[in-house]
Chains A and B, each alone.
Chain A
Amino acid sequence: MAKKKEKLIPAEYIPDVGSHVLTIDKEKYLIANDAMYTFYQRTKGEFSTFFLGLRDAKKIFGCKCPKCGLVRCPPFLTHCPDCDFAPTRPVEVGQVGVMLSTPPITYFANSLFLKMAPYGRGRVVLQGADTALAVNVYTTTGILAPGIIKKGTEVKVIFRDDRNGEISDIFCVPTSELTKAQVAKKGLLSSQINWEAAVEPTLKKATASDQAAYKKAFKEIKSVIKLMNETERARKDIAGWKRDIRVKTTGGEFAIIINNGDISLQEKKLSKPDFVMVAKSPKTLADGLAYRGAITDSVIMKRLWISKNMEFTTIFKLDRMARSVARSKK
């Protein structure tokens, strides 16, 4: 059952009433902040058995057609259209299954799911079911990278500790990351899994060649950031955005400051950054900023570590700025 008291729309999502004027070719246009919202007390109707099963009993129900024997999970209908609408009956299905196909991984999420990214969303065929249930998939080992979960990967359903009777009350992780007892347990909770905590990577002591590499990369980063600041398209990419980023690399550390259209590089250690970036090689960041491969991909492939997944948004903005500079040169 849900314990936390939350608002349907978190306060931070709600903008203030306001408007501004935009001038294009000497004509003025009025732009107003606006919203379209509707609240519901919406029934789960015939799906109530399924959603109550998730919320209260930590069970997963499908429905079985007595004529063709097909077990559908989720139980998205009450009568089988393949058997002249024969009535189906609820049946409990297993909590282990296999992925129907390789799940996609979302790195750039919609505004409601930024906190959840990166996440996989795929379809699992649970033991005893014939159809596939859409689920989020995660790894217990950090950021979900391509190749960890594929077609045929055996996964286990995990129940969130705080449940509301929604499909998001459950998610799956590979059984290979769990103990036998955990795989066998029905109604396994998220809090009963050992999630590898995000640990900041330690950097080795820099050698003379590391120092030289750092100097070279730092020089390039400095010049690219200067170029970004001089490029109108790149400045637009960080309009309204503010972030103080502490960057640690083998050989040295520095700060990148983003401030509503401005970006600057400062040779100092920030004591209260919005987030921390750690790259073993400073060249990783230099390459990304210079548009020689995406910074996003460096995070996914663990060449670059960030202290908060939410800050993928900032990483996307830096990637976009790199592209904007490249486009402006054409």
Chain B
Amino acid sequence: MSKRVGIVGAAVTPFKAKWNEKTYYELAQMATREVVKDARISIKDVDSVFYGIYNDIFERTCIPEHALHGLIGMQNKFGTRISTGGATGAYTISAAHAYLAAGRFKTALVLGVEKCTDCFDFMSMSATPEVIKSIGWSGDSFFEQKLGWTAADSYAEVVLAYMDEHPKDLKPEVTAKISSLLSQYAKTNKYAQRQHDQVTPEEVMNSRLVVYPFKELEICVYTEGAAALILAEEETAKAISKNTGKPIVWITGLGEANEHSFAGKNQKVMSRIMSDYLGSQRAYQMAGIKDPKKSIDIVELHDAFVHQLEITMAEFGLVPRGRADTLIDDGLMLPGGKYIVNPCGGLIYCGHAVGASNIMSAWSARNELIKRKKKTAIVHGTGSTIAQYTAVCILEHA
């Protein structure tokens, strides 16, 4: 029988647009130092490490984790890396959970890090076009890359296909209100890249189109930073919790799905994020959740784009597909509403340090569950071309 696994420590570095003061080595160690402090254990007590690092080009090296292993004090121990695009962090949590649940290890460090804005475009004298280019190498190398594939236009394909099916949903005034709301949440997150960048819905509406239909203030930002969790099997988790005085947040459900990367008959259904639907359904089943609308209190989802946040909420079964705007129209995600969605500010305002992002989301979900005395949270990552990959975690606070 598999063992119960819980989160007993969590930490993040400040998320910043650019860390000129640090390399990814130091960011990774910084998060590690903080997470063992949070769990009140020594790094010597950690049996294994699972690295979440998305893109070798960002770190400017292949096997970027090899240099980290010794400097975080894990020499001669188990270490492996997960890389699944935007879903890297959630998949890394899932992998660590599997090893602990199977009894291979008692403790695991889940460590996500990314350094992206070292990429620099000398033509425009700015980082962003080169960061987009580096992500662009993730598109299909035979049939997509040379067409100018980007993460944004790839997600936009899915969003526009959804809008073809549901033309009255994802109204610009609703996406603008969601972005504005997330910016308000970031105000209390001292680690957020845009902690002091509160925007009005009108500003969002007036911001420029980057990739139709996405406007600048509806898109996640590129971030450098790291995030870490300490996971432990039940007995070890209880001992650590007793020592820290902090409750265990259990990982009770996990679900993953990767879709087809080509579209059309019998392939990817463009108007859906089936990976979100299947991943969440599998996670609910594992956690014994029959009606997510009744069970889920806190949502920390991967909001690469506001429109995708809305579709993902529908695929999770938390709002009807085609009526995702009820998140605002019916006040479901407004303060005091049914769901607390991305209280850290999400990837749009806290920031998107790709490999670390979903781990940051888990850090936030754990904090919120404990602070608000809520029971259940869902943490999510989505990635790859046309929102192909998903990993979902259900966290519960007894």
B-binding residues in A (CB < 8 A): 12-13, 15, 22, 24, 27, 29, 31, 33-34, 36, 44, 47, 70, 72, 74, 76, 82, 100-114, 116-117, 119, 121-123, 125, 129-136, 146, 150-151, 166-168, 239-241, 291-297, 300, 313, 316, 319, 323, 326-327, 330
Most chain B beta-carbon neighbours within 10 Å: one of A36, A106, A114, A297? A106
B76 within 8 Å of A (CB atoms): no
- Which of under 10, 10 to 19, 20 to 34, or 35 or more describes the interface residues of B? 35 or more
B contact set with A: CB distance below 8 Å: 20-21, 57, 60, 121-125, 128-130, 132-133, 135-136, 140, 142-144, 146-150, 152-153, 156-157, 160-161, 163-164, 196-198, 203, 206-213, 216, 262-267, 270-271
CB-based contact B147/A134 at 8 Å: yes
User: Which chain B residues lie closer than 8 Å to A135 at the CB level?
Assistant: 147
Do B146 and A167 touch across chains, with their CB atoms under 8 A apart? yes
Q: In the complex, what residue of chain B is closest to A137 when comparing beta carbons? A: B147
Quick check: A107 and B142 within 8 Å, CB to CB? no
A293 touches B206 (CB 8 A): yes
Given known pairs A22-B20, A105-B211, the reply for A123 and B157 (CB within 8 Å) is yes
Q: How far is the CB of B312 from chain A (nearest CB, A)?
A: 18
Beyond A108-B132, A125-B264, A130-B266, 7 additional contacts (C-beta under 8 Å) are A12-B123, A101-B271, A104-B152, A104-B212, A110-B133, A111-B123, A111-B124
Nearest Cβ distance between residue A149 and chain B, in whole angstroms?
11
Contact indicator A132/B122 (Cβ below 8 Å):
no
Q: A105 to chain B: which residues have CB within 8 Å?
A: 209, 211-212
Closest to B270 in A: A101
Residues of chain B within 8 A of A241, CB atoms compared: 124-125
B contact residues around A292 at 8 Å (CB): 206
A107 touches B212 (CB 8 A): yes
B157-A122 in contact (CB<8A): yes
Contact B161 A102 (CB under 8 A): yes
B210 touches A108 (CB 8 A): yes
Is the Cβ of B160 less than 8 Å from the Cβ of A104?
yes
Q: Which residues of A contact B270 (CB under 8 A)?
A: 100-101, 123
Asked whether A111 lies within 8 Å of B132 as measured between CB atoms, the reply is yes
The answer to whether B129 and A109 have CB atoms under 8 Å apart is: yes
- Decide: A106 and B148 in contact? CB cutoff 8 A: yes
Which residue of chain B has its CB nearest to the CB of A241?
B125
Q: Are A131 and B212 in contact (CB under 8 A)?
A: no
> Shortest distance in angstroms between A159's beta carbon and chain B's nearest beta carbon?
15
Q: Which residue of A lies closest to B118 (CB)?
A: A34
- With a cutoff of 8 Å between Cβ atoms, the chain A residues found around residue B265 in the complex are 70, 130-131
A131 to B141, CA, bound (A): 18
Closest 3 CB pairs of A and B: A131-B264, A240-B125, A294-B208
Shortest CB distance B177–A (Å): 18
B21 A116 Cβ-Cβ under 8 A: no
Which of A22, A47, A102, A166 is B160 in contact with, Cβ under 8 Å?
Answer: A102
Please tell me if the beta carbons of A111 and B212 are within 8 angstroms of each other in the complex.
no
B215 nearest CB neighbor, chain A only: A294
| Shortest Cβ distance from B128 into A: residue | A108
Question: Complex Cα distance A82/B130, Å?
Answer: 39
B6 to chain A, nearest CB (A): 39
Of B136, B163, B198, B207, the most chain A CB neighbours within 10 A belong to B207
Chain A, residue nearest B22 (CB): A29
